[in-house]
Amino acid sequence: MQTVDQTRDWLLSRARVLSATETVPLLDAAGRVLAAELCSTLDVPPHDNSAMDGYALRCADAGQPLPLSQRIAAGAVPQPLAPGSAARIFTGAVIPPLADAVVMQEQVQLDEAGRAVIGAAVSAGQNIRRRGEDIAVGQRVLACGQRLRDADLGLAAAIGQATLSVYRRLRVAVFFSGDELVEPGQPLAAGQIHNANRYWLVPALRALGCEVLDLGIVPDTLAQTREALRRAAADADVVMTSGGVSVGEEDHVKAALMAEGELQQWQIAIKPGKPLASGRIGAADFIGLPGNPVSGYVTFAVLIRDFLRARMGETVAPYRAQRLLPAAFDWTRPDMRREEFLRVRQIWLDGQWQLERFANQGSGVLSSCVWADALVRLQPGQQVARGDLLPVYPL
């Protein structure tokens, strides 16, 4: 069996970045992946400006009452500051030529003649935001492969960029294997269960920004599974299935993939989640998740989400724990061959953050994923005693 790290490295090495891009308005770019670096064509701020409401003056004049020679609001073009005077100025307004400081209004009193009397020491440059101190002309402000957040779009707007080049959305086709599966809202016959995997997987893909082609439930026959794979691969960049990748006589996805494409990897030393099929069907990548809900959910979180992000052109960081926290539980039944990812919750206990374990770690207990806010990663054979520091991977 491949280790988790070996599998992750292999998947990322196979993640072919989309070649197709599109140009979208800024407000449509949130959550998309930038396809070309963005460099500034102007300075931000574009001029020296006031950091607050107050009075612009020359430091050398601060020791005497100063008549007000002009009033400068944001957006106005000031005149050069008259000698021996001050200018009333507001936040963001351009500093008038010949002024070298701004005194906040709380430190200024107006005398009976309406002159500004400075009540604090003044130093050159105080309360002035210099041209280009945030961004300089030619500076790279956003990197290719960056998933665009709200602040990124604000920064693009600040340099006057109205549109951005982004990778097109990744098309992911999904279907679900199992004659026992029934959609929610339909009555269950004997031996049937509701198709829970569809209702976490499709939203998870959409949250990544994928365009999802949902083919629903496919009957457990080799012929229909092969047909579904062909149909999905014709329209999608990635084909994903849930269930049917194990070794049972009714598990047809693995055999169908070998008949229609190429199976490149199958068994991974991870618990929950051991049967994970990956390969190719024509030009499409294939990912076959295990059918047990927790196995599929954890495998997607640990391995597949980052593969899809890389496939979308996003720069993906190494899979690392966010922090170490002490266990508030014991774990005395380790798997001797596979890494284990336990569902845990971070709790405040006895004056510190600790980790509480969900009682039932079974691969079919989807409520554990609802309850948990993180995973802890245990090496094969690793036992846990209360107080042991464990690596925390947020869900």
Q: Is the confidence at residue 265, as pLDDT, over 80?
A: no
Stretch 94-101: mean pLDDT: 98
User: Above 90 in pLDDT, residue 224?
Assistant: yes
What's the average model confidence in pLDDT over 108-113? 96
Name, in order, each residue with C-beta under 8 angstroms of 189's C-beta and a sequence gap of 6 or more: 182
**19 pLDDT higher than 70:** yes
* Number of C-beta neighbours around residue 140 at 10 A: 11
pLDDT digits (tens, 9 = 90+) for 24-79: 999 999 999 999 999 999 999 999 999 999 999 999 999 999 999 999 999 999 99
Q: Is pLDDT above 60 for 379?
A: yes
pLDDT digits (tens, 9 = 90+) for 384-395: 999 999 999 998
Per-residue three-class SS string for 281-340: ECCEEEEEECCCHHHHHHHHHHHHHHHHHHHCCCCCCCCCCCEEEEECCCECCCCCCCEE
Q: How confident is the model at residue 253 (pLDDT cuts 50, 70, 90)?
A: confident
* Banded model confidence at residue 240, pLDDT cuts 50, 70, 90: very high
For the ranges 256-260, 263-267, 346-350, the lowest mean pLDDT is seen at 263-267
Question: What mean pLDDT is reported for the chain?
Answer: 94
CA–CA distance from 134 to each of 54, 130, 131, 142, 155 (Å)?
22, 9, 8, 14, 10
d(CA 277, CA 268): 9
Structure tokens at 109: 């009193």
Q: Please report the domains of the chain, with CATH numbers, ordered by start residue.
A: 4-16+169-311 (3.40.980.10), 21-44+133-167 (3.90.105.10), 49-129 (2.170.190.11), 323-394 (2.40.340.10)
- How far is residue 293's CA from residue 104's CA, in Å, rounded to a whole number? 61
| 249: pLDDT strictly greater than 80 | no
Q: Give pTM, 2 decimals.
A: 0.89
Is residue 2 over pLDDT 90? no
